[in-house]
A and B are shown apart, each in its own frame.
Chain A
Amino acid sequence: MIYPYIPHTDEDRAHMLEALGLSSIDQLFEVVGEDLLLEDSVPIAHRRTEDEVQRMIDSIAQRNIRGIPFLGGGCYDHIVPATVKALSSLPSFVTAYTPYQAEMSQGLLQAIFEFQSMICEITSMDIANASLYDGSHAIVEAALLMVNAKRGAKKVLVSETIHPFALKALKTWVLGTEYEIVLVEEKDGITDFSNLAIGDDVGGLIVQSPNRYGFVEDYTGMAELLHERKALFAISSDPLSLAIQKTPGQWGADIAIGDTQSLGLSLAFGGPSCGYMAVKQPLLRRIPGRLVGITADAEGRRGFTLTLQAREQHIKRERATSNICSNQALAALMTTIHLSSLGWNGMVEAARQSYAKAHYLAHHLGHLPGLDVLNAHPFWCEFPIVFHDAKRMRKFLQELRNEGIFAGVRLSALTRKSADELVLLVAVTEKRSREELEMYIAAAQRVMK
């Protein structure tokens, strides 16, 4: 019997068994014991040919419906240059593993080094790691770093305006540990720092800008306040927004975190995306995950290698800075290719156009009865609108859907709170054409008139 992806012929098997002095492969499994060995195959379907699988997947794919997405909530539909798919699909990139053997992984190591450098440049930080799973994971790792970096730290202050799913992930992390998440309340959609209590047991503060509503927050004086109390300051950001908004480094943050999905990764039903973390120099030995550094061989030739591995689980085991092993290397590579293609000017252009188009749509929706555009605070590419009643909101979503438009993300889908049911987050990227914007506006006008 020939199986896909297994090259052995009957003759090969016979030869190998003979070399082992065995008469059947089953003998190699005797150690598992009769009690445990299954007599039959597990109850899943029989094998299919490549063509059969293609047809089957085609019909499954038909059950996904695409629209013109004005959807954000942590995942955005930006333009991705063709170079990203073409180059990130090169087989050696795709089928290699973590570059433990530096000499035969120089290309991968160099690409990661370039990723680290670009993340540092964008966030105005000193050191970036080779990637984390996603934005929520980056926030959890930042919290973990905070409680580990300060003796006696048990609490992490977290703004209520961070992404609701990231907040859920943080709450999962503290479950059953000695740590505590202390929420910093929001006021009118942005973090309210007026009652901030930074005790000795506080490891640091985590905020997000643009925040869960899309608002750009003001962190004036926060770094000084936290550092006075020996607490760390972490800012989570959509990295593309940092082309125009003040960077974590410029705010004086110690840790910059986020997700690079907006830099070259497709929507992909939410994954893979790619978390990033960048820190200031004093936290070099505290950063979780892989780090690639420059060194040289005996002849003085420049080379790249995984470095500072004494932080990591395979060396330090339970005393490691984190349990992370595999990260999101190929997704980080996609971001690297994306940024290499865009350059700084391209990145600014994408951020700037997203800003302009989002404001254009917000401006036009602002004139409609039956809903309010919340724009008391500056925003970048995403803004909330609040409907006056649920019926009209449903009709709005349905009518736009009929036009092939996904009008926005319901805030309640993220927070799971009924209080948020009338809030719709509308995201506009540079990818939305003028025509698509006008379609949205016209349909909205029809429903809300």
Chain B
Amino acid sequence: MIEPLLIDKSKKGRLAYCYPPLDLPRSFDHEFEHLPSHLQREGGARLPEVSELDVVRHFTRLSGMVHGVDNGMYPLGSCTMKYNPKLGEEIAQMAQFTQIHPLQDTSTVQGCLSVMYNLLEDLSSITGMSWGSLQPCAGSHGEYTGLKLIRSYFLKRGDLNRTKVLIPVSAHGTNPASAAVNGFDVVEVASNRKGLVDLDGLKSRLTDEVAALMLTNPNTLGLFEEDILKISEAVHEAGALLYYDGANLNAIMGKARPGDMGFDVLHLNLHKTFSTPHGGGGPGSGPVMVNDLLRPFLPKPDIVLREGGYAFDWDQADSIGKVSMFWGNFLVFLRAYVYILRMGSEGLRAAANHAVLNANYLAKKLKPYYEIPYTGGIMHEFVISVKNYKEQYGVTAEDFAKALIDEGYHPPTVYFPLIVDEALMIEPTESESLENLDAFIDAMIRIAKRAKSDPGSLKKAPISTPVGRLDQVKAVKEARVRY
């Protein structure tokens, strides 16, 4: 089952691709030798020399050793691994989009610009914000951009004192990391017993040094911050701004809007909520949406609709500038736009409804077998703790995860959020049918029983994969990261 590295199949002289011969007058054929010798590369690079069929078999075999949403259920909490419609893939391969250069005259790219403009309009409606930028290439890139807007806003006001960002302990690791990259100091906010932001604790931290509070809502426990309007009021009274991490927007898409909750800026994950494929870890897209307060600071260029068509507008005096090379991950926008067109306003609501229904159904059915520490108002995901199993039978969250692999499932997110011991964070999404959920529940129950009757067998999992559990210490110690 081990597929060799392609470089190890290399044979001198074998070709998988053949360029047409250079058909220039002979003097130009050797023109490259004119690059002065001290600027020339010395020696070659070891790349595979194989046939086209070798390449095809290699990557086809590798793809057989990957589990995607198309292979089976992927309840990876906070990642919203929903079905990625094939229509989006088909459209994203159209030459009328893939063969368009980013620096063509805008009169020749009206199609691309209209997709971007209309997507921004729809995203504004969905989030209740005034406008946004599609430039950020992933969620954390969106966080970086959103926090930069906040920074610029306070700089513009001459308020240099606001150097702190408040972040709940349950937040994604990208939140504090993005704050740090922007030069903010991170202050953690504790959760209360219900798993929500502790309002009094928050208020005590809202000094005049605080620039923003970053919140995910529903939070990473899958719970809606029911005090959100009070939180928003407190944050704004203290002169700070409210940031919405859109990782979990799928729970409320089309049902409630961050803008109405008082958020000043947010980022979305088109690769989660708007069903664009995750691609093995990107390309994603992390649009930033803002209210009127922050709109002047949005990245350049803006996309505008003028008489005569769509255009880029570079004339924004207070803009933070560019955050990516060109305009963002266009082919991802296209897929998200196609998804929104297919779903329509009612469909987006239905997606949120069924994502929440599925999570609650799973939680209810798993409750007799697993501890769910926070259950007050579960939305699209929930977190179970196998702490009891660890204490009694020595079986950890990782063991449960690996056992699920042998059942044919991608495991939930493990050991996150940090406020739950031995956590497994489960997000079924709206894509899974009742039958699929029931099968998953049965698998979870089987594993729970095995954890009690034969804990050793879980320690050996997975056994159905090309390799068993891997030695992480060895990987770090030897750090063999290239051939």
Contacts and interface: CB of A to CB of B under 8 A. Distances in A.
B346 A41 contact: yes
Interface residues of B, number: 203
Contacts of B81: 95, 97
Given A61-B111, A268-B98, A314-B173, A172 B322 contact: yes
Contacts of A165: 322, 325-326
Given A75-B101, A121-B45, A246-B38, A307 B472 contact: yes
B137 A133 contact: yes
A307 B477 CA distance: 10
B66 A107 contact: yes
A126 B50 contact: no
A27 to B, nearest CB: 10
Given A65-B109, A95-B70, 18 more contacts: A6-B354, A31-B376, A38-B257, A41-B346, A44-B122, A79-B19, A117-B7, A134-B325, A165-B325, A168-B321, A267-B99, A269-B100, A297-B467, A314-B416, A328-B137, A340-B48, A343-B50, A406-B101
Interface stretch (A173-181, A192-200, A225-233, A384-392): A173-181
Contacts of A314: 172-174, 416
Contacts of B284: 326
B140 A313 contact: yes
Interface string B101-126: 11111011111101100000010011
A182 interface: no
Nearest to B127: A42
Give the size range of A's interface with the partner.
35 or more
A419 interface: no
Interface stretch (B29-37, B287-295, B381-389, B449-457): B29-37
A120 B138 contact: no
Contact of B177 (A77, A308, A316, A434): A316
A264 B470 CA distance: 32
B7 A434 contact: no
A154 to B, nearest CB: 11
B229 A35 contact: yes
Which of A17, A64, A135, A346 counts the most chain B CB atoms within 10 A?
A64
Interface stretch (A47-55, A365-373, A441-449): A47-55
Contact of A356 (B22, B101, B155, B471): B22
Contacts of A376: none
Given A97-B281, A299-B468, A355-B32, A114 B177 contact: no
Given A42-B254, A293-B478, A340-B55, A102 B470 contact: yes
Contacts of A291: 481
A223 to B, nearest CB: 14
Interface in B313-361: 314, 320-332, 338, 340-351, 353-354, 356-358, 360-361
A152 interface: no
Interface in A229-257: 242-247, 250
A99 B300 CA distance: 34
Contacts of A382: none
A66 to B, nearest CB: 6
B375 to A, nearest CB: 11
Contacts of A339: 47-48
A346 B15 contact: yes
Contacts of B476: 293, 307-308, 310
A313 B173 contact: yes
A331 B321 CA distance: 25
A337 B186 CA distance: 41
A341 B17 contact: yes
A364 to B, nearest CB: 10
A263 B118 CA distance: 31
B343 A47 contact: yes
Nearest to A347: B47
Contact of B111 (A60, A121, A168, A271): A60
A58 to B, nearest CB: 8
A133 B138 CA distance: 8
